[in-house]
Amino acid sequence: MQRSTEDYPIRQVIPYHDNPALDSNPEVQSYYDEPPIQSQPGIHAPSPLHSSADLSNPNSQHSQAQHPTDVPLMASASAYNNLEAPRNSDWLEKTQRSNKRSKFIVIGAVLTLAVLIAVGVSVGVVLSKKKTSNNSSSSGTASPTSTGVPPGTNPDDPSNFQKNPALKQSFYGIAYTPLGSQLPDCGNSLQEVIEDIQLLSQLTTNIRLYGADCNQSALVLAAIEATKVNMNVYLGNYPAVDDNGTAYQRQKGEIMSALQTYGAEHVAGVTVGNEFILDYITEAGQSDPNGSAGQQAAAMLIPWIQDTRTMLSSLNLGKTIPVGNADAGSYFNTQVLEAVDYGMSNVHPWFANQSIQDAAGWTAEFFLTTNVDFAATLSNNPKMYIAETGWPTNTSQFNYSPDDGVSLASVANLQIYVDTFVCQANQNGTGYFFFEYCDEPWKATTYGGVEGYWGLFDSNKNFKNLTIPTCSV
């Protein structure tokens, strides 16, 4: 996803700082004057929600103290000094000494017995409490602090996972690519995708994929099945503009295999092409999606769309799966839109040089006038979605441009965009896929600028410092 202001030609905005007072702030001003040096994230770290985490066993038994077997009946007598008294006679002194000794022995015995009784009662109470605690642990009602295990967590069952109270299911959809899904490395895994689906399911019930390489389709469908969450996925086939259909055919096979294995219960559509028209006409040095280069691109893309429909029909999946296309908002070819069931439009206020205060309103207006209204004029009336929209939270020095946006790339501004776009879009009935699930380090090193920093989570699956609004979809 690389954009320029030419992608959104309908509105030109002169760059400006959101607040003139920021000019006097040296820390903020340095963002415009000196590109920040962004350290790149390292290897993907395991998530704290990893289902194979070594959690304590909630059924573990506490060791219990045993009753002492040999308890002395009486402590040994200790020496004491006789109280002085007037001397009467030797016999009287001996008699008094003997009586006093007997008296102290009796008193000592009584005190010792009382102490032993008290100790016995205390030991009994302690053991009773421990037994009660163990019985409570065995029945699964112990508190998290007593066992170290959150209630209801089963590390062996991906469908029984710990929820993050900061996450709310307020998004219509989220754009998602499993980390490690780029050829030739293919470093993704089912365990990682399961973790992703566990987190995504707390934010939305719809996700979209871009391509099918590295077994993405099967991994996602397997993860949805394992977690038993309410999730629909738009599978994707991301063909290249310069390989004579090789990438298309390869990914078609991946999608077919995934559907044959896991079925279509959770599949909402298959999107063929992502910014294919944009890429093709840009390489040709043109800008009109319906110009000569755009028509050449459409002549390649439409047969693949039709072939995908044929493939899906041949699988006898028990449902008709819609087939669509995704492109930059201003680059839909009319013939391509006429050939699909739905269109997905990438609408980015950042690349249109919109301020964060104007971003949500501009996105809604652009999508309605440029995509929805136009699609309604076509005979097939394809349903239109926003395929990507969001706000970056950082930038890297590589390919950094101080003119990349009139508002800062920051978590604070992402929060503003979430607050001003999400619930309003839900209320308007707009289908959208927020961009994106997590930061992608490979984009930061390959493309630079803000490309790697659009996630609601960082690349280690740590939720950014955001507050998700509460609203129904």
Highest mean pLDDT among 69-73, 352-356, 405-409: 352-356
Residue among 13, 28, 30, 33 nearest 355 (CA): 13
- The whole-number pLDDT of residue 403 equals 64
Flag whether pLDDT at 469 surpasses 70.
yes
Q: Contact, 198 vs 243, CB < 8 A?
A: no
Q: Count other C-beta atoms under 10 Å from residue 371's C-beta.
A: 23
Of 103-117, 207-221, 248-262, 321-335, the poorest mean pLDDT is in 103-117
Q: pLDDT-derived band of residue 5, with 50, 70 and 90 as boundaries?
A: very low
Average pLDDT over residues 236-265: 98
Flag whether pLDDT at 74 surpasses 70.
no
Flag whether pLDDT at 187 surpasses 50.
yes
Flag whether pLDDT at 295 surpasses 90.
yes
Which pTM was predicted?
0.71
429-448: per-residue pLDDT in tens?
999 999 999 999 999 999 99
Omega before 436 cis (within 30°)? yes
Q: pLDDT-derived band of residue 14, with 50, 70 and 90 as boundaries?
A: very low
Flag whether pLDDT at 173 surpasses 80.
yes
Q: What percent of the chain has pLDDT over 90?
A: 64
Please indicate whether residue 85 or residue 198 has the higher confidence score (pLDDT): 198
Residue 383, H or E segment:
strand 383-389
Buried b (16+ CB within 10 A) or exposed e, 425-458: bbeeebbbbbbbbbbbbbbbeebbbbbbbbbbbb
96-144: per-residue pLDDT in tens?
444 444 444 444 554 555 545 554 544 343 334 433 344 333 333 333 3
Please indicate whether residue 225 or residue 84 has the higher confidence score (pLDDT): 225
Q: What percent of the chain has pLDDT over 70?
A: 67
Q: pLDDT-derived band of residue 37, with 50, 70 and 90 as boundaries?
A: very low
Quote the DSSP letter at residue 319: S
- The whole-number pLDDT of residue 259 equals 98
189-240: per-residue pLDDT in tens?
999 999 999 999 999 999 999 999 999 999 999 999 999 999 999 999 999 9
337-396: per-residue pLDDT in tens?
999 999 999 999 999 999 999 999 999 999 999 999 999 999 999 999 999 999 999 998
Flag whether pLDDT at 35 surpasses 60.
no
Average pLDDT over residues 444-473: 96
- The whole-number pLDDT of residue 396 equals 87
Question: Rounded distance, CA 319 to CA 125, Å?
Answer: 65
Average pLDDT over residues 402-409: 79
Highest mean pLDDT among 40-44, 81-85, 101-105, 440-444: 440-444
Averaged pLDDT of the chain: 78
Q: Contact, 9 vs 352, CB < 8 A?
A: no
